[in-house]
Structure 1
């Protein structure tokens, strides 16, 4: 597998993202032993030091753990952690808790078909219909976020953009869908032309990319969202309480 040389992120960070996705998409499932460091060196054509740094990142995130003389394994989620994922906060709730009013400036709704990557994320077959929701968002003072959300298409979903200006999770709740599992990761990226246009920023302006996977397995609902935030206007807070 080749690494994107045009990506400004360090090699170990790019590889960490690939390994993280293997866990997020359950290519590597809980309890699985991942390939050895030497095997990963051959896959990514990088040094062992680079691979070790990538694995270290996921160990810090509690996604992987090492067992001496046995290898590196995908960490199993404890019951306590599983309960933690039952509360999924959307953009609207996140800003409300910080005393701000979430605003959606623009919404675009599109029906399309899943490619191999999206089919894996959404637990559907390649070519099945999907709903793509593109939203430009911010607070009462400024615009600083661009969201692209993908879900498997269902006839109960509205195709009217006006129905998606408020909280997406509140909209889902009206349909009887309450997501109860979430995984996400964050990385710094350079904005492509689409992001530059949506957020009215320059190529040199740093962007925070937040990738979110949510689900309600009992209802066979899966969501994949890419969120792009203007780095100078947004801070991401972690609550460990």
Structure 2
């Protein structure tokens, strides 16, 4: 197998200074291909096998070149689907607001779709119970409605989010169709639940294999984990969620006031 640090130039790549890694030349060639062929945002690149044959290099070299382009946000990968050209990363004004994830994107005329994974009455997780200030035990006052969804923007998975709402505040929510509706719009219009402020915690995490599959990314792709507790005007805890956000497609805009 060819060493990815090999300095021999594959056919069709520009000349470079001695000792430049081979993957760097392949990366440059892929950039030129994207530019010269006018490959647009979200369009697929040739497969790894096709790139190996095109540049006469090993798969190790091609993968390193693609990984560098992912790191530089030029392309993104979808698990089992290949590599795609990334568009300009947008800013999602989310962290500094109590609006839902889709609110700002709908204002930008993006196509938002949702895949519901879980929608049920359940015993809350330890974190949800703590943040929602629910009593311990298995009684009705301790139950929550759990809703887990994958949100997609223009057909591309961007967010995996797990909501918990005290069941007593939203009776019947476990049966409300949510595939095509904003979660927060349902809470406001159907249950009169209004958020006035929220506390949020953010950290970088690595996805599990299942989470990576749901978001269409490689298991080695880092994500932002966002934990949130929303409060009513009276200061009651009314929603807890844990979300995983793909920052290879968008950055989060934070405003502190």
- TM-score range (shorter-chain normalised) is 0.5 to 0.7
- Counterpart of 1:222 in structure 2 is 238
- Counterpart of 1:10 in structure 2 is none
For the Cα contact (< 8 Å) 1:121–1:222, is it kept in 2?
no
Q: 1:157 aligns with which of 172, 192, 197?
A: 172
Alignment of 1:44-83 (within 5 A): none
Q: TM (normalized to structure 2)? A: 0.54
- Counterpart of 1:129 in structure 2 is 143
Answer 1 or 2: higher relative contact order, Cα 8 Å, separation at least 6.
2
1:176 matches 2:186: no
Q: 2:181 aligns with which of 158, 161, 166?
A: 166
1:112 matches 2:128: no
CA distance in 2 between counterparts of 1:216 and 1:91 reads: 18
1:143 matches 2:157: yes
CA distance in 2 between counterparts of 1:167 and 1:150 reads: 15
Find the structure with the greater CA-based Rg.
Answer: 2
CA distance in 2 between counterparts of 1:151 and 1:185 reads: 18
- Counterpart of 2:254 in structure 1 is 238
Deviations 1:66-117 (A, max 9, x none): xxxxxxxxxxxxxxxxxxx996211121213444232213342022113543
CA RMSD in angstroms, aligned pairs only: 2.6
CA distance in 2 between counterparts of 1:210 and 1:167 reads: 19
CA distance in 1 between counterparts of 2:185 and 2:208 reads: 30
For the Cα contact (< 8 Å) 1:116–1:126, is it kept in 2?
no
For the Cα contact (< 8 Å) 1:107–1:162, is it kept in 2?
no
Structure 1 residue runs of 4+, over 4 Å off? none
CA distance in 2 between counterparts of 1:135 and 1:222 reads: 19
Q: Gaps spanning 5+ residues in structure 1: where?
A: 1-84
Q: TM (normalized to structure 1)? A: 0.57
Structure 1 residue 131: Cα displacement = 1.1
- Counterpart of 1:189 in structure 2 is 205
Q: Gaps spanning 5+ residues in structure 2: where?
A: 1-94
The 3 A distance-change label for structure 1 pair 217 and 112 is: farther
For the Cα contact (< 8 Å) 1:123–1:222, is it kept in 2?
no
Query: 3-state DSSP class of the match of 1:131?
Result: strand
